[in-house]
A and B are shown apart, each in its own frame.
Chain A
């Protein structure tokens, strides 16, 4: 099992490392958000008594970069299907669950690397990590987030034949997960309906966990965050493994 998971993991990393365009593309988007929103809304946020917006926003942007990168690596299964490489892994004499786990860990590693890179960039824009001791815990949250969304991307891609459905996934899943999560705005004092949606959005708990560990401002609570993120990760991973195991070509 170890050999197969490792081989799959390594393959995902090599692909990421070799496609510099993609790497730059996925770094550019969060930086754009950080600059435009951070500097654009900063003054209003301050006036409204919210404090330093960059300090609030940065963890949300880190979480966002992980969400997007992980989902995309998960959805890559469709490319593998179209280019044919998927078949090669599907007939191999190894449980497909192992292939799926290796693939997911690879995608998750890429996600965490991206998130870390964005985190470092945030420091240059004035973001301050308040408690260094919490960094390992922040990494745990980042990793679980990455695993969850790589697995989710894989699960969805397992049932799709081609990329035609991609805009639907983007607009009806990824964007709502992101915009309704509290990554960009505080969850306090929201209209009831929005608050409710944010509460059932698992990504909210990822954002809260990452923000809480990096700058100490928690809204939901780290224990709850962890429980929800861990449980959601396990569920998505299980469903994803099942869907991936039953792919037909």
Chain B
């Protein structure tokens, strides 16, 4: 499983129902080793739900998944050893300090003792939080918390990195340097990166491969170039709008998502 072109994530006929509602509807795709893979879709499309199933947090209703050739349903430990993740929703311990959050993660992910300190120091400096390392996370601004979450996701170097809207709430400076860093990891360590974002120019810039999902179904797969060509548009944003329509997502989902976003902002 180490050459490019081999699928490191493979999904076939994946479905997730919440009661009567089908959040993910019979989707199939492969992610090749060493790629930067963008999973795009409007609010409520089913991106986060898919990521939860790939990362052992949620069991699928139907379908077959392989992550690093393991099954997240039955080989949870092997799957968990294969990936790292930055969640869309908050996931820090507010009562711990920035440094403690990083250290806790390093221990959980078995980062060798001799490099823990050096790596945490490096990453906290990288996201500009070194001076605040001894402060409890509850005293941080929303963007600072997000920076810490991203830095924490990079403490260990997994084979696959899932990033669910990693740059949400980050300023352009941080967004750019985070992507530089990720691209470097992707190159130097052949780390496969699976990410979602609502910033189309970001996806256009970094993704080798794009899947567009809407209402739980995959509607397009290809490179940014291919998507633009097929839709006869000049930017990925236009291609995305053409593919998914200009209509704002069904009222329920959007108001819920707005609420979620608001509560997220409030909590931060």
Contacts and interface: CB of A to CB of B under 8 A. Distances in A.
Contacts of A93: 77, 80-81, 108-110
The SS class assigned to the B binding surface is loop
B92 A85 contact: yes
B55 interface: yes
A249 B52 CA distance: 8
B261 interface: no
Contacts of B92: 84-85, 88
Contact of B57 (A11, A15, A90): A90
A91 B57 CA distance: 7
B59 interface: yes
B55 A91 contact: yes
A224 to B, nearest CB: 40
Interface stretch (B83-91, B226-234, B251-259): B83-91
Given A4-B107, A84-B87, A84-B91, A11 B58 contact: no
Contacts of A7: 103-104, 107-108
A85 B104 CA distance: 11
B95 A15 contact: yes
Nearest to B82: A93
B189 interface: no
Contacts of B110: 3, 93-94
A136 interface: no
Nearest to B92: A85
A194 to B, nearest CB: 42
B174 to A, nearest CB: 21
B96 interface: yes
Interface residues of B, number: 30
Nearest to B80: A93
Interface string A86-108: 01111111110000000000000
Interface residues of A, number: 23
Contact of A248 (B59, B96, B108): B59
B96 A14 contact: yes
A83 interface: yes
Given A11-B104, A84-B87, A92 B59 contact: no
Contacts of B90: 83-84
Contacts of B202: none
B100 interface: yes
A95 B108 contact: no
A171 interface: no
Interface of B: 52, 55-59, 77, 80-81, 83, 85, 87, 89-96, 100, 103-105, 107-110, 136, 267
9 contacts: A4-B107, A18-B95, A83-B90, A85-B93, A87-B91, A88-B93, A93-B109, A95-B77, A249-B57
Interface of A: 3-4, 7, 11, 14-15, 18-19, 80, 83-85, 87-95, 248-249
Given A88-B93, A90-B56, A93-B110, 19 more contacts: A3-B107, A4-B107, A7-B108, A14-B96, A15-B95, A80-B93, A84-B87, A84-B90, A87-B89, A87-B91, A88-B92, A88-B108, A90-B57, A91-B55, A91-B57, A91-B80, A93-B109, A248-B57, A248-B58
